[in-house]
Amino acid sequence: MDRLSKLLRHPRILQTLPDEERSYVLARVKFRLAFRSDLLALEWDGEFAHFRRLYAEAYRYTELGQAVIWVAELVDAGLIGQLFVHLKSDRRELADGRTSAYIYGFRIRPAYQSKGIGTKLLQITENDLVQKGFKFVNLNVGQDNNRARQLYERLGYRVIGTDPGRWSYYDQHGRRQDVNEPAWRLQKEL
Ligand SMILES: CC(C)(COP(=O)(O)OP(=O)(O)OC[C@H]1O[C@@H](n2cnc3c(N)ncnc32)[C@H](O)[C@@H]1OP(=O)(O)O)[C@@H](O)C(=O)NCCC(=O)NCCS
């Protein structure tokens, strides 16, 4: 195993890598659609276990052609990124199944952030939506999440409104969880 392959097993060291080694890391990331067998790994060692039912439901929608789940996978490290897309949802203003799609659950594991992986994951998602004939992509970003908002704006997303960000889900124990995350609504014309 070469030196960089060993480094990939120690994410803390990645924070200090110079640019050319970051490019090497990025080149070793595989972007692909999620398999059913990825569902547990999407929980990231338990951190997102509370979304277990949401992930399973999203996967069922992929089987119906109404959603897409993208993952970023790194040799030796497993899944390090995820991004969910609703192609068609009950909230037609977000995803109408034909012209507009909705991105959510976009995250890169902290040790692998700021290396261009999120940008590439988003671009791959957008290219796929263009291929599918979609014209607009919508997403919500927390009003306190300036860094993510800047990333989106750099990639051509514009604020088109706000969203109260109130929603509920059932966690892995079947308990209802209420979320309150006031958000900006962003949109990009593809
Ligand atoms: C938002 C998020 C998905 C972006 O993923 P990412 O992989 O960190 O994004 P990128 O690396 O493509 O870009 C992020 C930054 O890295 C910088 N960067 C990208 N490639 C780089 C490189 N080779 N060398 C140095 N910096 C680089 C970018 O300029 C960008 O700068 P910023 O810190 O000012 O934003 C990620 O930070 C994350 O998971 N955050 C927590 C969850 C979250 O907020 N999700 C969004 C919900 S709406």
21-71 pLDDT tens trace: 778 878 899 999 999 999 999 999 999 999 999 999 999 999 999 999 999
Q: Which atom of ligand 1 is nearest to the CA of 109?
A: 39
pLDDT above 80 for 2: no
Q: What is the pLDDT of residue 19?
A: 74
Which token pair is 72?
A: 């970023």
Give the Cα-Cα-Cα angle 8, 118, 164 (nearest 5 degrees): 135
Which token pair is 157?
A: 């997303």
Query: Domain boundaries in the chain?
Result: 3-135
Q: Which atom of ligand 1 is nearest to the CA of 151?
A: 35
Residue 117 Cα to ligand 1 middle (Å)? 7
Q: What is the pLDDT of residue 16?
A: 63
Specify whether the backbone of 78 is left (phi greater than 0), alpha (psi in -120 to 50) or beta.
left
The pair phi, psi for residue 162, each rounded to 5°, is -125, 165
Q: Are 106 and 82 in contact (CB under 8 A)?
A: yes
Pocket of ligand 1 (CB under 6 A): 19, 22, 106-108, 113-119, 141, 145, 147-148, 150-151
CA distances 187 to 4, 120, 137, 180, Å, are 38, 18, 6, 21
What is the tens place of the pLDDT at every residue in 109-161?
A: 998 998 899 999 999 999 999 999 999 999 999 999 999 999 999 999 999 99
pLDDT above 60 for 1: no
DSSP assignment of 30-89, as one string? EEEEPPGGGTTGGGTTTTTGGGHHHHHHHHHHHHTTSEEEEEEEETTTEEEEEEEEESB-
Q: Give me the helices (H) in 88-145, please.
A: 117-131
- The DSSP H or E segment spanning 188 is strand 183-189
What is the tens place of the pLDDT at every residue in 69-108?
A: 999 999 888 999 999 999 999 999 999 999 999 999 999 9
Q: What is this structure's pTM?
A: 0.91
Q: Which atom of ligand 1 is nearest to the CA of 107?
A: 39
β-sheet with 67-74: strand ranges across: 29-33, 67-74, 78-86, 100-108, 136-142, 183-189, 158-163
Question: For 3-135, CATH number?
Answer: 3.40.630.30
Specify whether the backbone of 161 is left (phi greater than 0), alpha (psi in -120 to 50) or beta.
left
Q: What is the pLDDT of residue 37?
A: 97
Ligand 1 atom 8, closest CA = 113
pLDDT above 90 for 173: yes
